[in-house]
């Protein structure tokens, strides 16, 4: 077996998996954070409780993904973080603000609770927008030109809409009563902006990157790739149907909305991975050029095959223990 070939592929796959899981899991709690200003005070407590047991575990996945980038692909790590220094810094500030507000919204007392709720929402919005900007800049090869900047701005507006949809779908799973009905309304309002954003991004991506366009629109690739846009379209149509079907929503099948969103995210990830491969930074580095020495990767591999299942197991355990409907969060 050629370890110099397969180990970079393993770590690229592990990094992609970690970031996909992060988008799905931390995406919904960022979405709930952005929805917080539109709920009553009592509903805010339930919304925070719906993410309270999970959000530390959710953020583990971005740490894992960036850690793999640093250890397995140090050259790419240095280029990515140098090019995206400002949005990365702002994202971290947003995530820190969320963490502080999460605790202080109750511990600081009722007089300051509203302020910390607003800061929690602000931190969620800042982190979401910055993540969208980073994805857009990365897909265009970190060039920093006008086209890349406009594309990054477009995805910066699209990603929060996806996160809001994930947040609304999670509330369908974890809440009931009036908050459940509000989650339906929020989802109905966000589903079309999210769809429009995804469509614009799908159209713009091959336009801003000729390399990606060649991969998607040359035969026979175009035929083989049809299941990706088709399954995405079916999942999106199903999502609209779910949010407008009282029979589904009020008979315990609201979780199907989260499943449909997961399908969309998985298909988008597969499409992005195909578009980039074998490069880790478009036009600059391939996986193998950016990879650490084979000996270093082999040493890290044994740690990764222990850590990755452990994190997956811990995540499954947490979600199993805290399954069921959320109630108002207590700090007692």
* Residue 27: domain span: 8-321
CB 278 within 8 A of CB 287: yes
DSSP class of 37: G
Q: How high is the pLDDT of residue 165? A: 93
Mean pLDDT for the stretch of residues 58-80: 87
Residue among 56, 62, 117, 67 at smallest CA distance from 92: 62
User: Structural domain tally of the chain?
Assistant: 1
112 lies in some domain = yes
- Distance CA(197)–CA(17), nearest Å, equals 23
- Asked, for residue 327, whether it belongs to a domain, the answer is no
CB 293 within 8 A of CB 73: no
Q: Per DSSP, what are the bridge partners of residue 286?
A: 279
Q: Residue 164: which CATH number?
A: 1.20.1630
Read out DSSP for 264-318?
Answer: HHHHHHHHHHHHHTTEEETTTEEHHHHSPPHHHHHHHHHHHHHHHHHHHHHHHHH
How many secondary structure helices (H) and strands (E) does the chain include?
15, 2
pLDDT per residue as tens digits for the range 271-326? 888 888 888 887 788 888 888 888 888 988 998 898 889 888 888 888 888 887 77
Query: Does residue 232 fall inside a structural domain?
Result: yes
Contacts of 221 (CB under 8 A, 6+ apart): 215
What is the reported pLDDT for 278?
Answer: 85
């Amino acid at each position: 077996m050629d370890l110099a070939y397969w180990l970079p592929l393993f770590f690229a796959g592990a990094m992609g998996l970690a970031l996909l899981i992060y988008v799905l899991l931390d995406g919904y709690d960022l979405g709930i954070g952005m929805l917080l200003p539109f709920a009553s005070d009592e509903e805010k407590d339930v919304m925070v409780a719906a993410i309270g047991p999970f959000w530390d575990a959710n953020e583990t996945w971005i740490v894992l993904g960036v850690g793999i980038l640093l250890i397995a692909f140090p050259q790419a790590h240095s280029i990515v973080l140098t090019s995206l220094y400002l949005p990365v810094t702002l994202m971290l500030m947003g995530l820190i603000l969320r963490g502080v507000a999460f605790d202080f919204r109750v511990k600081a007392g009722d007089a300051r609770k509203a302020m910390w709720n607003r800061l929690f929402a602000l931190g969620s919005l800042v982190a979401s927008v910055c993540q969208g900007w980073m994805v857009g800049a990365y897909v265009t090869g970190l060039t920093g030109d006008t086209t890349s900047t406009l594309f990054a701005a477009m995805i910066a507006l699209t990603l929060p809409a996806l996160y809001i949809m994930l947040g609304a779908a999670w509330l369908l799973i974890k809440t009931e009563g009036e908050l459940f009905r509000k989650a339906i309304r929020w989802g109905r309002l966000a589903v079309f902006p999210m769809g429009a954003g995804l469509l614009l991004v799908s159209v713009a991506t091959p336009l801003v990157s000729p390399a990606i366009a060649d991969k998607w629109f040359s035969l026979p690739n175009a035929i083989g790739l049809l299941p990706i846009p088709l399954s995405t379209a079916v999942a999106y149509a199903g999502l609209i149907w779910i949010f407008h079907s009282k029979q589904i929503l009020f008979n315990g099948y609201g979780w199907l909305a989260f499943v449909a969103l997961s399908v969309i995210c998985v298909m988008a990830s597969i499409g992005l991975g195909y578009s980039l491969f074998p490069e880790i930074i478009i036009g600059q580095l391939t996986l193998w050029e950016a990879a650490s020495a084979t000996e270093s990767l082999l040493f890290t591999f044994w740690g990764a095959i222990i850590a990755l299942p452990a994190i997956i197991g811990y995540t499954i355990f947490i979600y199993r223990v805290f399954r069921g409907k959320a109630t108002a969060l207590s700090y007692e």
